[in-house]
Amino acid sequence: MEARSGARVLTVSAGTAGDLPYRGRTIRSAFAKKPIDAPVMVTALGLAGDEQGDRVKHGGPDKAVCVFPSEHYRHYERLLGRRLDRPAFGENLTTSGLDEHEVCIGDVLRAGGAVLQVSLPRNPCYRLAARYGAGELPLWFERCGRTGFYTRVLQEGRVRAGDRIDLIDRLHPSATLAEANRLMHHDKRDLPAIRALLVPELGHNWRRTFENRLGGTIEDPTRRRFGPAGPPS
């Protein structure tokens, strides 16, 4: 199957890891990425020149490329009370024409010379709060489902701003990113829906979490949301 999605890459960005202040301490993060005007090579482990501050939670084959829809910017600008320049959320590709209610786990996308496969939604963490000094930002992401997503790389190639994004194959039309976000952050005990979402292409981290839930264990998201110090007092 091959179908044009009408989506495009607006910005391609990469960054190196540095220190980011957060609640009286510093954390390592490559959140503050910069746009790149030239074509960028996308490899199985991500964009050339891009780094991750926490290689346990970020990066790797399932999270090689972070994608964030530009359509979400206005929503977060209202919440934060400020204008946001791309890439505002540490994404590699800022896009137009993609949405969590339409994009599905396992979707195969051609962006420029690279072929990508959607693996999982972005799971918002406290680095978002650190970047903007807004402790509730991870919770805002969870509540509205405007999270962006990650892809693995099926075919390495170069991508640049302005490239078209084509939908090459859709393996699981019911496994939308919106459905995945619903189950991860809201309806955590909807076990039949969780079983249906455990498609082979789902990224390892989310697969492990959902399998644990099927076994009766519900994870505590406090550390992910707020960091080692826990919620602000």
In a domain, 94, yes or no: yes
b/e string for 212-229 if b means 16 or more Cβ within 10 A?
ebeeeeeeebeeebbbee
Backbone angles phi, psi at 132, to 5 degrees: -115, 5
3-state class of 172 per DSSP?
coil
Mind listing the pLDDT tens digit of every residue in the chain (233 residues)? 444 468 999 999 999 988 888 888 888 888 899 999 999 999 999 999 998 755 555 679 999 999 999 999 999 999 999 999 999 999 999 999 999 999 999 999 999 999 999 999 999 999 999 999 999 999 999 999 999 999 999 999 999 999 999 999 999 999 999 999 999 999 999 999 999 999 999 999 999 999 999 999 999 999 999 998 788 76
Please tell me the total count of domains within the chain: 1
In a domain, 83, yes or no: yes
In a domain, 12, yes or no: yes
In a domain, 185, yes or no: no
In a domain, 188, yes or no: no
In a domain, 65, yes or no: yes
d(CA 84, CA 50): 21
> What is the domain range of residue 39?
3-172
3-state class of 184 per DSSP?
helix
CATH assignment at residue 97 = 2.40.33.20
In a domain, 75, yes or no: yes
In a domain, 131, yes or no: yes
If you search the block for the tokens 């209202």, which residue do you land on? 78
